[in-house]
């Protein structure tokens, strides 16, 4: 099994060893850089660049610059998706956003993690676990979602939260670590 196959299967892999992974990240970063440096009023060019970056998308979506991701092909966004400025998606695993997802500024979705074992970590190994965001979810600013998290439908994640565990549907959750504070 090569490093990309390990990555896509949630196994420990070396992202800095496999030349194809390095090249894929480089190509994605170049497209992100072009997107981030396109004049703001040139919405058509920015939209076309996003369509080259993102693996799967529906018709109506907006991502404000700046936007960075690792590979792009593991990202899926639903209809009526909006992200404010400074979105970061580390996507060695799938990151799936449902319909009507709204993301505040300075948010990060990180599927990549590193082993607790010092020897493995010092070898540069990492793992990736998918993130799933259901329909009608709203994120306040400065939210971080960690590997392997699923967020249920109609939920709100308060500003500044660090989401390390699954969040159920129909709740308001916030904090570090993020916890349910109200059912809606």
> Is the bond leading into 66 cis (omega within 30 degrees of zero)?
yes
Quick: pLDDT tens for 34-61.
999 999 999 999 999 999 999 999 999 9
Q: Do residues 128 and 112 lie in contact, with contact meaning Cβ atoms separated by under 8 Å?
A: yes
Task: Burial-class residue 71 by CB neighbours within 10 Å (0-12, 13-18, 19+).
Answer: buried
Quick: pLDDT tens for 57-106.
999 999 999 999 999 999 999 999 999 999 999 999 999 999 999 999 99
Supply the pTM of this predicted model.
Answer: 0.96
* Range list of β-strands (E), the chain: 13-14, 56-57, 61-63, 67-69, 75-77, 81-83, 87-90, 95-97, 102-103, 108-110, 112-113, 125-128, 131-133, 138-139, 144-145, 150-151, 156-157, 162-163, 171-174, 179-183
Q: Do residues 57 and 48 lie in contact, with contact meaning Cβ atoms separated by under 8 Å?
A: no
Q: Specify the pLDDT at position 17.
A: 83
Q: By residue range, what is the domain housing residue 24?
A: 3-183
Q: Which of 29, 114, 123, 179 is catalytic?
A: 114
Q: What is the CATH number of the domain that holds 154?
A: 2.160.10.10
**Strands lying side by side in the sheet with 162-163:** 67-69, 87-90, 108-110, 144-145, 162-163
Q: Specify the pLDDT at position 55.
A: 97
* DSSP 3-state of 124: coil
Q: Specify the pLDDT at position 72.
A: 98
Domain total for the chain?
Answer: 1
Task: Tell me if residue 114 is catalytic.
Answer: yes
Q: What integer best gives the mean pLDDT of the chain?
A: 97
Query: Which residue, among 75, 73, 68, 77, has the nearest Cα to 97 in the 3D structure?
Result: 77
Q: Specify the pLDDT at position 80.
A: 98
- Pairwise CA distance, residues 53 & 15, whole Å: 19
| Percentage of the chain exceeding pLDDT 90 | 98
Cα 122 to Cα 7, 17, 58, 146, 183, distances in angstroms: 18, 14, 40, 21, 42
Q: Specify the pLDDT at position 166.
A: 98
Quick: pLDDT tens for 141-184.
999 999 999 999 999 999 999 999 999 999 999 999 999 999 99
Average pLDDT over residues 4-20: 93
């Amino acid at each position: 099994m090569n490093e990309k196959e390990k990555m896509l299967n949630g196994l420990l892999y070396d992202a800095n060893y496999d030349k194809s992974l390095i090249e894929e990240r480089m190509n994605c970063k170049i497209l992100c850089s072009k997107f981030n440096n396109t004049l703001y009023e040139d919405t058509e060019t920015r939209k076309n660049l996003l369509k080259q970056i993102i693996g799967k998308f529906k018709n109506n979506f907006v991502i404000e610059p700046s936007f960075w991701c690792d590979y792009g092909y593991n990202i899926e966004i639903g209809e009526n998706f909006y992200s404010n400025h400074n979105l970061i998606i580390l996507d060695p695993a799938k990151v799936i956003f449902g319909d009507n997802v709204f993301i505040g500024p300075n948010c990060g979705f990180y599927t990549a993690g590193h082993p607790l074992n010092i020897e493995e970590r010092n070898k540069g190994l990492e793992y990736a676990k998918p993130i799933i965001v259901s329909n009608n979810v709203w994120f306040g600013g400065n939210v971080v979602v960690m590997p392997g998290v699923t967020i249920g439908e109609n939920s709100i994640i308060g500003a500044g939260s660090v989401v390390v565990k699954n969040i159920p549907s129909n709740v308001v959750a916030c904090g570090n670590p993020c916890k349910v504070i109200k059912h809606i």
